[in-house]
Amino acid sequence: MKTGLVTDILGYMPFEKMLDTCVELGIESLELGCGNWSKAPHVNLGELLESAVKREQFMDAIQKRGLSIAALNCSGNQLNPSEEGTLHKAGVEKTFQLAGLLGVETVVMMSGCPGGGPNDQTPNWITHPILPQHFNMLDWQWNEVALPYWEKAVKSAKEYGVQKIAIENLGYNLVHNAETLLKLRKEVGSMVGMNLDPSHLFWMGGDPIAAARTLGDAIYHVHAKDVRLERGIVDAQGLIDVKPMESFASRSWNYVALGYGHDAAYWKEFFTVVKMTGYEGPVVLEMEDLTMEPLTGVKKSMDILKETLPRDFETKLRTVLVN
């Protein structure tokens, strides 16, 4: 279980400065945003696809520091019925292609969320179906949009040499928990597994430890990300909160640095149970705590990650090789 980082949080740093910072913090692998929802601060997708020389320079900068690529990330909504969905489909395809060229086994992405019917122009995440038409909408989303797309996406990923597609369990997506991931996997095969992100289960009222046991060998990637339920607010208002993330002082829950929502004892159990499922891949920190500076949040989160992962860490700093 290597430590990793979703590098977008250090997007204000130039590429090589980000790499050196990761080494200094004891981070061992990288999850690199390639576009769609990510601004791709450290990946020039077009340039890397076009130039073997640029790809060699890119990989050399990573590998000479003792780092590796845990995954490429193209999270977005490729099932969006608007022009955005078309653009995100292209971003997914290019990310599959780059992963194959770089020899990266895993691509992290979202399942996507279509509209509620063929005439919709905006995505419709149906979370509380009551009337018959609501269930008809869900059936249409899965069978007419999602499954046909994913059958093609899996085939395309295989052709490019991708070995695993890790779908994150984020709300606003058809796949948002273990049950929906296993539903998709049953239809399109074992190329698809889960990027288990515990933070989203927290705010949806689930238990990541139970989810890990349910998923078993369908866990393809793991994010280390925490949520705090804000006492006094969540008790009165519940978990459904539509205020923007920047309104953290009045929200019922917030993404927080690792350890600021759940203590080290919880994370020790979570990571141990994940390992018990047979998962030996990277555990990648995703830091979205808006109450602290990005680098501060990464440092504090890494302290918890090193304390709680079921493995030993070297005490000496690795040598940073720079030009």
pLDDT in tens, 6-62: 999 999 999 999 999 999 999 999 999 999 999 999 999 999 999 999 999 999 999
- Does residue 323 fall inside a structural domain? no
Average pLDDT, the chain: 96
Q: Return the pLDDT at 95.
A: 98
Q: Decide if pLDDT at 323 tops 90.
A: no
Per-residue buried b or exposed e for 77-110, using 16+ beta carbons within 10 Å of the residue's own CB: bbbbbeeebeebbebbbbbbbbbbebebbbbbbb
Residue 34, pLDDT score = 98
CA distance 213 to 277: 7
What's the pLDDT at 314?
Answer: 72
Q: What is the CATH number of the domain that holds 70?
A: 3.20.20.150
pLDDT per position as a tens digit, 220-239: 999 999 999 999 999 999 99
Question: Which two three-digit tokens encode residue 189?
Answer: 């095969």
Specify if 322 maps to a domain.
no
Place of tokens 């515990």: 198
pLDDT on residue 315? 53
Residue 317 has pLDDT above 70, yes or no: no
Domain containing residue 161: 3-308
Beta-sheet strands, E only, within the chain: 3-6, 29-33, 68-73, 106-109, 164-168, 192-196, 219-224, 226-229, 253-256, 283-285
The answer as to whether 315 is a domain residue is no
At residue 103, what is the residue type? G
Q: Taking the model in full, what pTM does it have?
A: 0.95
Give yes or no for residue 189 having a pLDDT over 80. yes
Reported as type and span, the H/E element at residue 24 is helix 15-25
Coil, strand or helix: which one is 101?
A: helix
Q: Is residue 318 part of a domain?
A: no
What confidence tier does 158 reach under pLDDT thresholds 50, 70, 90? very high
Q: What is the DSSP letter of 107?
A: E
> Is residue 168 a part of any domain in this protein?
yes
Q: Is the pLDDT of residue 321 over 50?
A: no
Does residue 256 belong to any structural domain of this protein? yes
- Per-residue pLDDT of 103-134, as tens digits, reads 999 999 999 999 999 999 999 999 999 999 99
Asked if residue 109 belongs to a domain, the reply is yes
Instruction: Kindly list the distances between the CA atom of residue 279 and the CA atoms of 1, 103, 164, 176, 254, in Å, as whole numbers in the listed order.
Output: 8, 20, 13, 20, 28
List, in order, residues 6 or more apart from 28 with CB less than 8 Å away: 2, 3, 4, 66, 67, 68, 282
Query: What's the pLDDT at 44?
Result: 97
Q: Give the count of domains, the chain.
A: 1
- pLDDT of 203 higher than 50: yes
Kindly state whether residue 251 falls inside one of the protein's structural domains: yes
Give the long-range contacts of residues 118-126, CB within 8 A, separation 24 or more: 118/144, 120/81, 121/81, 121/82, 122/80, 122/81, 122/82, 123/77, 123/79, 123/80, 123/81, 123/172, 125/171, 125/172, 125/173
Q: What does the pLDDT look like over 234-288, one tens digit per residue? A: 999 999 999 999 999 999 999 999 999 999 999 999 999 999 999 999 999 999 9
4's tokens: 């990793």
Query: What percentage of the chain has pLDDT greater than the value 90?
Result: 96
